[in-house]
């Protein structure tokens, strides 16, 4: 074991989901070591305890895992579990941490961002409940990165990550584990596999696009081997270091082929995709895309059809920018609805306290108390379980849902890679005029409330301020503005636009049309075009 002296990097502040940078940034000498040592230095005593490590298999994954193993040994962990090939999907890592009562875990991923020698990489620390470290931990890590002067590492040979089994590294036990087995077993406990299997055997067709990312092996094992979907139902199933040159982001832009298939005459009954690290999901029925916000509401309304949720939900949580469709489901079920800032880490306390069962975000994340991360395949399986039990199509379920609860037309407009100064000043100016907006109108829409979202965590009493600007209109429409916390170059302005339509006769309008006046108001209120120089968003989801 040796102690190596080092000097701090100024840019190691974790964002919405860990530290994300371009690969060449991580490749700077000591960059990875500084961050990992800062994580270890910020934790309470873990001597002899278990650490879990896994990643989404992107470029640089194996190198960082080797460093992390040697550093974990030098810092005194007693046991380390690592997925074979360095692979663990994010929800599977959460499960491994929980199941093995590990002290915590390092998840190496930049989620849905592209991978490759000049693309993105990321390191995130998860705590013993299996969920992302809360803000007080990430702040401590950041503070440590600013003063760090040395790190500890064992000078031992690399571990063979491809061979399942046990080895010793500097006195620490290292186990290379099957990344899929425990996760697949958990899914089998939660859902009615027999009903889904019977539906598939009866001719129900599905396609799952793994986007050359981490869920390929998981989806093949669960959907094809255990549930009997024909070979080929899982596409792009080989995880690649650069995701085949694509963005492993399951949205209508990057999963375009799947979308087009689902809108065509050859569409199977059900289409789905997941992202780089397996925590996001995209759900498309034949001829109908289900927005993540609607998916959360529909899953919550029907969850009792799956064995794990048969006794009902304790509560529902959604991130603030997620549409309010789930709120009306919570109301009907008579359970509490919690509105949290963007970032899965904010659900952790509510889940641990048993206050909520299901959580979701507009950014294509849905999950439950089975782990402490959002879970792409879980959402797919819950949908399949519901479809099997109801015997109806996705379209029929969605239309029935809107009829009962009303429809929240919803879109997110992203302005990517905007100059940071311009994006910051847009938000600052908006913030300055918030007090004066209520009672005024824009494009004929009357503003009832305008504020900057601040969250008081009901479990630990902590406050997170400045979490996004909300403009609420008469009739339940809403515009939210915030800057992304996950980008790696420039700033990304996100504008979330939502209209509530209770009238079933008006549930068949194209989203762009239903939101047209709000889109114009969003520009008028914040001066998006003038301040960013962009005349349209880079991505609409």
Active site residue ranges: 111
Residue 244: strand, helix, or coil: helix
Binding of Zn ion by 275 (CB under 5 A): yes
CA quadruple 215, 220, 225, 228: dihedral sign = positive
Binding of Zn ion by 111 (CB under 5 A): yes
When the beta carbons of 408 and 486 are compared against Zn ion, the nearer one is 486
Given a contact cutoff of 8 angstroms between Cβ atoms, the answer to whether 408 and 294 are in contact is yes
When the beta carbons of 105 and 365 are compared against ligand G6P, the nearer one is 365
Binding of Zn ion by 56 (CB under 5 A): no
Of 57-65, 125-133, 163-171, 269-277: span binding Zn ion (CB under 5 A) = 269-277
When the beta carbons of 170 and 250 are compared against ligand G6P, the nearer one is 250
Q: How many CB atoms lie within 10 A of CB 209?
A: 27
Shortest CB 493 distance to ligand G6P, Å:
10
Binding of Zn ion by 279 (CB under 5 A): yes
Of 37-45, 109-117, 126-134, 529-537: span binding Zn ion (CB under 5 A) = 109-117
Residue 6 binds: one of Zn ion, ligand G6P, none (C-beta under 5 to 8 A by kind): none
Residue 41 binds: one of Zn ion, ligand G6P, none (C-beta under 5 to 8 A by kind): none
Shortest CB 96 distance to ligand G6P, Å:
18
Shortest CB 345 distance to ligand G6P, Å:
7
Q: Which helix (H) or strand (E) holds 135?
A: helix 135-145
Among 41, 209, 221, 277, binds Zn ion (CB under 5 A): 277
Structure tokens at 194: 């027999």
Shortest CB 449 distance to Zn ion, Å:
32
How far apart CA 295 and CA 386 sit, in angstroms, is 12
Contact residues toward ligand G6P (CB under 6 A) are: 16-17, 111, 319, 342-344, 361, 363, 365, 484-486, 494
Q: Which of 415, 388, 380, 377 is nearest to 532 (CA)?
A: 415
Binding of Zn ion by 120 (CB under 5 A): no
Strands 288-290 and 281-285: antiparallel
What phi and psi, each to the nearest 5 degrees, are found at residue 152? -110, 135
List strand residue ranges (DSSP E) for 75-162, in order.
Answer: 79-87, 104-108, 120-127, 150-153
When the beta carbons of 85 and 91 are compared against ligand G6P, the nearer one is 91
Shortest CB 112 distance to Zn ion, Å:
5
Structure tokens at 427: 């938000």
Given a contact cutoff of 8 angstroms between Cβ atoms, the answer to whether 228 and 292 are in contact is no
How far apart CA 375 and CA 356 sit, in angstroms, is 16
Given a contact cutoff of 8 angstroms between Cβ atoms, the answer to whether 350 and 341 are in contact is no
Residue 385 binds: one of ligand G6P, Zn ion, none (C-beta under 5 to 8 A by kind): none
CA quadruple 529, 534, 536, 541: dihedral sign = negative
Residue 339 binds: one of Zn ion, ligand G6P, none (C-beta under 5 to 8 A by kind): none
When the beta carbons of 46 and 346 are compared against ligand G6P, the nearer one is 346
Residue 280: strand, helix, or coil: strand
Residue 277 binds: one of ligand G6P, Zn ion, none (C-beta under 5 to 8 A by kind): Zn ion
Shortest CB 213 distance to Zn ion, Å:
9
Alpha carbon separation from 445 to 217, 450, 505 (Å, rounded) = 49, 13, 22
What phi and psi, each to the nearest 5 degrees, are found at residue 222? -80, -50
Q: Which residue ranges make up the site for Zn ion (CB under 5 A)?
A: 111, 275, 277, 279-280
């Amino acid at each position: 074991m040796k102690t190596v002296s080092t000097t701090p990097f100024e840019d190691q502040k974790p964002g919405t989901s860990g530290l994300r940078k371009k690969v060449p940034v991580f490749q700077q000498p000591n960059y990875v070591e500084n961050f990992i040592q800062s994580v270890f230095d910020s934790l309470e005593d873990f001597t002899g305890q278990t650490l879990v490590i896994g990643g989404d298999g992107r470029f640089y994954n194996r190198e960082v895992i080797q460093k992390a193993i040697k550093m974990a040994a030098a810092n005194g962990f007693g046991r380390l579990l690592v997925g074979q090939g360095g692979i663990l999907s994010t929800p599977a890592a959460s499960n491994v941490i929980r199941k093995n009562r590990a002290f915590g875990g390092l998840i190496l991923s930049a989620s849905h961002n592209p991978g490759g020698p000049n693309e993105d990489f990321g390191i995130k620390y998860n705590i013993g409940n299996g969920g992302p470290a809360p803000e007080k931990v990430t702040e401590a890590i950041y503070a440590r990165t600013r003063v760090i002067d040395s790190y500890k590492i064992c000078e031992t040979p690399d571990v063979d990550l491809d061979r399942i089994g046990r080895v010793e590294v500097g006195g620490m036990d290292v186990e290379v584990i099957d990344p899929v087995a425990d996760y697949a077993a958990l899914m089998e406990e939660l859902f009615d596999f027999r009903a889904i299997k019977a539906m598939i055997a009866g001719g129900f067709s599905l396609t799952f696009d793994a986007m050359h990312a981490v869920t390929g092996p998981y989806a093949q094992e669960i959907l094809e081997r255990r549930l009997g979907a024909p070979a080929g139902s899982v596409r792009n199933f080989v995880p690649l270091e650069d995701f085949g040159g694509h963005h492993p982001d399951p949205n209508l832009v990057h999963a375009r082929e799947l979308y087009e298939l689902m809108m065509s005459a050859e569409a199977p009954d059900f289409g789905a995709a997941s992202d780089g690290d397996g925590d996001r999901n995209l759900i498309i029925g034949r001829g109908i895309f289900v927005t993540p916000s609607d998916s959360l509401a529909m899953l919550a309304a029907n969850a009792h059809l799956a064995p794990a949720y048969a006794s009902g939900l304790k509560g529902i949580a959604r991130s603030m920018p997620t549409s309010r469709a789930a709120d009306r489901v919570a109301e009907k079920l008579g359970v509490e609805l919690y509105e949290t800032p963007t970032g899965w880490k904010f659900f952790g306390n509510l889940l641990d306290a048993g206050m909520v069962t299901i959580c979701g975000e507009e950014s294509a994340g849905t999950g439950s108390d089975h782990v402490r991360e959002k879970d792409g395949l879980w959402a797919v399986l819950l949908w399949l379980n519901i479809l099997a039990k109801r015997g109806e199509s996705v379209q029929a379920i969605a239309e029935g849902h809107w009829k009962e609860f009303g429809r929240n037309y919803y879109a997110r407009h992203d302005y990517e890679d905007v100059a940071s100064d311009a994006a910051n000043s847009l938000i600052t100016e908006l913030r300055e005029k918030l007090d004066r907006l209520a009672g005024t109108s824009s494009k004929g829409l009357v503003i009832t409330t305008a504020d900057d979202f601040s969250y008081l965590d009901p479990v630990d009493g902590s406050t997170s301020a400045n979490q996004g600007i909300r403009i609420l209109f008469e009739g339940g429409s809403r515009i939210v503005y915030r800057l992304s916390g996950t980008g790696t170059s420039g700033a990304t302005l996100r504008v979330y636009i939502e209209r509530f339509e209770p009238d079933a006769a008006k549930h068949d309008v194209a989203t762009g049309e239903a939101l047209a006046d709000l889109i114009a108001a969003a520009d008028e209120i914040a001066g998006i075009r003038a301040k960013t120089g962009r005349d349209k968003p880079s991505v609409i989801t």
